[in-house]
Chain A
């Protein structure tokens, strides 16, 4: 497989306001391979949902793609006219949103919504399409699908509705599904069911998934690779195990430490001080520098680009200087260096 399924190159999402342009997604690049599940995780306002919206071409105005390209199977899709993008959106990219209630039309039966999607993108006959709709509902685990196909969204419970939304997203076997917080609005027991379902279906169909969520737990269960976003930039991207068990970026490291876990008895959780900067005042250099325990001279000046560290890419100057392979290594190396030129660094920091 030469080309990855989806390539995002230097994507910038901007919001022009009367106080100047706000950059919500700031020059990010990543790939999604065929059949891969890429988790995109970050706190609210990190730009993760906007990245997803930009890929499916549903950025809400005044948001707009300011620069960069998005390529699906080697073909640019970020500059397509609306009508062409709409075709791609149904057929090649499916979408699952957080709130299953708003992504279904309350006036049409779920069967009608499914058959309409199928018939728009394929040349199936109405009868065939209906059969396929029932088949899809069976596949997403809706009991008595032949009866429920004619029911309306309000007759389904939250979990069942999200199943319908998944059926809708997978109706014409897209190559990629963008799922934006698909389980956030659901109860924990339903969450587990939906994650299991999504995982199984995408494995069976070979569909790639871009899974946008704030929940590391969901990522750990589902994703192959993770991109951790912070203030509109990718802090760290790599294999899920690597990111979760051996976080390299100071932010990811702090984030993992701040998640309480059953069986993990700590009097206090690790905490990252402060909160994510607002879009209006992202600091110069590394956006994480005001909260970073390791921030030093250069971090306040230059923005770090993602550097390869083992199988991951990490946007942090620690790894440029120390040539380290883990956060602990990097910390140690920097501490050693700091002792040598502490005064010098301080001076730079004050500049």
Chain B
């Protein structure tokens, strides 16, 4: 955890160009999770309402290589947190498979999942809700150690807890305290220490810095990078903050209404975004360099996920949409630069390329002509 060794940096740098990582550690194929959000049965019968199904995750595929950080971005309600919970087994999938190191872990029972759990842990968003307020910090961190029987006795457990607290930059004496005695950033460190307690190889991080102030966010992001190097961790990093995802990820997936619309190496995605939605998202990043660039906010909002638009779910907001987009859901296709894009427009070459969304001169006119 001391200084960044030069060699490690050198090793890491080319990683952004993808392909340098080992074999796929986690593989997700055709993953689906539907939620039944219908009214209670009696109401439904009396009011003659149909069943309402929320397709939170609707068929996504991706792979994460060992040692890689895969970022997942999207707006609220796009299903990214559901993906996190599916992978750690908090939800069972409706369909599809999740394999960790070749072992299918989708929809396993608690017992069947047990051998895999040690290797797969999670860091949560809300540092105020993710620690049991009635437990001392040492017991919180020791819980996975005890659950997996990783030490031979209480003395060894205590030593391990002290060691973990030191890893995350806290004082071993802090173990005696209760969570409410800590600030948000420190609680998130405790949460990370707990996740590391079982010596996992894969960490699912669901918006781990979203509830933190920026200066604390920087501390946590740096800590996570240090720990990744130190313990050869693989991360699935979920966030709505594009700059954070850019900073930490090697590859990035963009989700919209339960589907992955684009997957690409981080640098490629942020310099040459292909999917119109990715471009729109990138255009919302505030301009901290004060270049005076006027942003062109794209209109519209995320539609109700219970009744998503037919065809490509993004078509009502997309300036390039045509009839095909309204009726046929696009499948991901491979594009230059090692990415996947699910867009008819990109496939047909209708969507002009360029680093930032080249705002059509008259978006309304364009859309209107296409609608014709």
Query: What residues make up the interface of A, taking CB atoms closer than 8 Å to B?
Result: 43-44, 157-160, 187-193, 196, 214-218, 220-221, 240-241, 244-245, 254-264, 266-273, 275-276
CA of A269 to CA of B222, assembled, Å: 6
Contact present for B284 and A259 (CB under 8 Å)? no
Contact present for A193 and B283 (CB under 8 Å)? no
Residue of chain B at shortest CB distance from A196:
B297
Contact present for A188 and B240 (CB under 8 Å)? yes
CA of A84 to CA of B239, assembled, Å: 45
Contact present for B222 and A196 (CB under 8 Å)? no
Determine if B144 is an interface residue (Cβ-Cβ < 8 Å). no
Contact present for B285 and A43 (CB under 8 Å)? no
Leading 5 A-B pairs by shortest Cβ distance: A217-B286, A258-B218, A260-B247, A43-B213, A192-B297
| Chain A residues, Cβ within 8 Å of B186 | 275
Q: Indicate whether A187 sits within 8 Å of B290 (C-beta atoms), given known contacts A221-B295, A255-B214, A271-B218.
A: no
Residue of chain B at shortest CB distance from A216:
B288
20 more CB-based (< 8 A) A-B contacts, given A192-B283, A261-B246 = A43-B213, A187-B240, A188-B242, A188-B284, A189-B280, A189-B281, A189-B284, A189-B301, A190-B301, A192-B297, A196-B297, A214-B214, A216-B214, A255-B214, A258-B214, A262-B246, A267-B4, A269-B247, A270-B218, A272-B219
| Chain A residues, Cβ within 8 Å of B299 | 193
Q: Indicate whether A258 sits within 8 Å of B270 (C-beta atoms), given known contacts A187-B240, A189-B284, A268-B225.
A: no
Taking the closest CB of chain B, its distance from the CB of A314, in whole angstroms, is: 18
CA of A189 to CA of B214, assembled, Å: 20
Taking the closest CB of chain A, its distance from the CB of B1, in whole angstroms, is: 12
CA of A273 to CA of B170, assembled, Å: 12
Determine if B12 is an interface residue (Cβ-Cβ < 8 Å). yes
| Chain A residues, Cβ within 8 Å of B271 | 263
- Interface residues of B: mostly helix, strand, loop or mixed? helix
Of A214, A244, A268, A275, which one neighbours B288 at CB under 8 angstroms?
A: A244
Query: What residues make up the interface of B, taking CB atoms closer than 8 Å to A?
Result: 4, 9, 12, 75-76, 183-186, 213-219, 221-222, 225, 240-244, 246-248, 270-271, 280-290, 295, 297-299, 301-302
Contact present for B287 and A267 (CB under 8 Å)? no
Taking the closest CB of chain B, its distance from the CB of A65, in whole angstroms, is: 26
Q: Indicate whether A220 sits within 8 Å of B288 (C-beta atoms), given known contacts A187-B76, A259-B243, A260-B247.
A: yes
| Chain A residues, Cβ within 8 Å of B9 | 267
CA of A267 to CA of B69, assembled, Å: 13
Contact present for A215 and B219 (CB under 8 Å)? no
Contact present for B285 and A262 (CB under 8 Å)? yes
| Chain A residues, Cβ within 8 Å of B282 | 262
| Chain B residues, Cβ within 8 Å of A158 | 301
Contact present for B288 and A217 (CB under 8 Å)? yes
| Chain B residues, Cβ within 8 Å of A188 | 75, 240-242, 281, 284-285
| Chain A residues, Cβ within 8 Å of B301 | 157-160, 187, 189-190
Taking the closest CB of chain A, its distance from the CB of B279, in whole angstroms, is: 11
CA of A216 to CA of B215, assembled, Å: 12
Of A220, A245, A268, which one neighbours B286 at CB under 8 angstroms?
A: A220
Residue of chain A at shortest CB distance from B216:
A275
Contact present for B215 and A262 (CB under 8 Å)? no
Central interface residue in A189, A218, A256, by most chain B CB within 10 Å: A189
CA of A158 to CA of B76, assembled, Å: 11
Contact present for B302 and A261 (CB under 8 Å)? no
Q: Indicate whether A258 sits within 8 Å of B281 (C-beta atoms), given known contacts A189-B75, A216-B288, A220-B290.
A: no
Q: Indicate whether A271 sits within 8 Å of B222 (C-beta atoms), given known contacts A157-B301, A188-B75, A217-B285.
A: yes
CA of A245 to CA of B112, assembled, Å: 55
Of A221, A244, A260, A272, which one neighbours B221 at CB under 8 angstroms?
A: A260
Taking the closest CB of chain B, its distance from the CB of A81, in whole angstroms, is: 37
CA of A257 to CA of B281, assembled, Å: 23
| Chain A residues, Cβ within 8 Å of B219 | 258, 271-273
Q: Indicate whether A258 sits within 8 Å of B217 (C-beta atoms), given known contacts A191-B284, A275-B186.
A: yes
Contact present for B295 and A259 (CB under 8 Å)? no
Central interface residue in A187, A254, A264, by most chain B CB within 10 Å: A187
Q: Indicate whether A269 sits within 8 Å of B243 (C-beta atoms), given known contacts A189-B284, A217-B285.
A: no
| Chain A residues, Cβ within 8 Å of B244 | 260
Taking the closest CB of chain A, its distance from the CB of B305, in whole angstroms, is: 12
| Chain B residues, Cβ within 8 Å of A214 | 213-214
Taking the closest CB of chain A, its distance from the CB of B266, in whole angstroms, is: 10
Central interface residue in A43, A220, A245, A262, by most chain B CB within 10 Å: A262
Residue of chain A at shortest CB distance from B290:
A241
| Chain A residues, Cβ within 8 Å of B302 | 187, 189
Taking the closest CB of chain A, its distance from the CB of B347, in whole angstroms, is: 24
| Chain B residues, Cβ within 8 Å of A215 | 286
Contact present for A192 and B295 (CB under 8 Å)? yes
Residue of chain B at shortest CB distance from A159:
B301
Q: Indicate whether A221 sits within 8 Å of B286 (C-beta atoms), given known contacts A187-B240, A188-B242, A269-B218.
A: yes
Contact present for A255 and B76 (CB under 8 Å)? no
Of A159, A189, A245, A272, which one neighbours B215 at CB under 8 angstroms?
A: A272
Contact present for A271 and B285 (CB under 8 Å)? no
Of A244, A264, A275, which one neighbours B185 at CB under 8 angstroms?
A: A275
| Chain A residues, Cβ within 8 Å of B246 | 260-263
Taking the closest CB of chain B, its distance from the CB of A103, in whole angstroms, is: 19
| Chain A residues, Cβ within 8 Å of B243 | 259-262
CA of A43 to CA of B185, assembled, Å: 12
Q: Indicate whether A263 sits within 8 Å of B218 (C-beta atoms), given known contacts A159-B301, A220-B288.
A: no
Taking the closest CB of chain B, its distance from the CB of A187, in whole angstroms, is: 4
Residue of chain B at shortest CB distance from A273:
B219
Taking the closest CB of chain A, its distance from the CB of B265, in whole angstroms, is: 13
Contact present for B218 and A245 (CB under 8 Å)? no
| Chain A residues, Cβ within 8 Å of B215 | 43, 254-255, 258, 271-272, 275
| Chain B residues, Cβ within 8 Å of A157 | 301
| Chain A residues, Cβ within 8 Å of B183 | 275-276
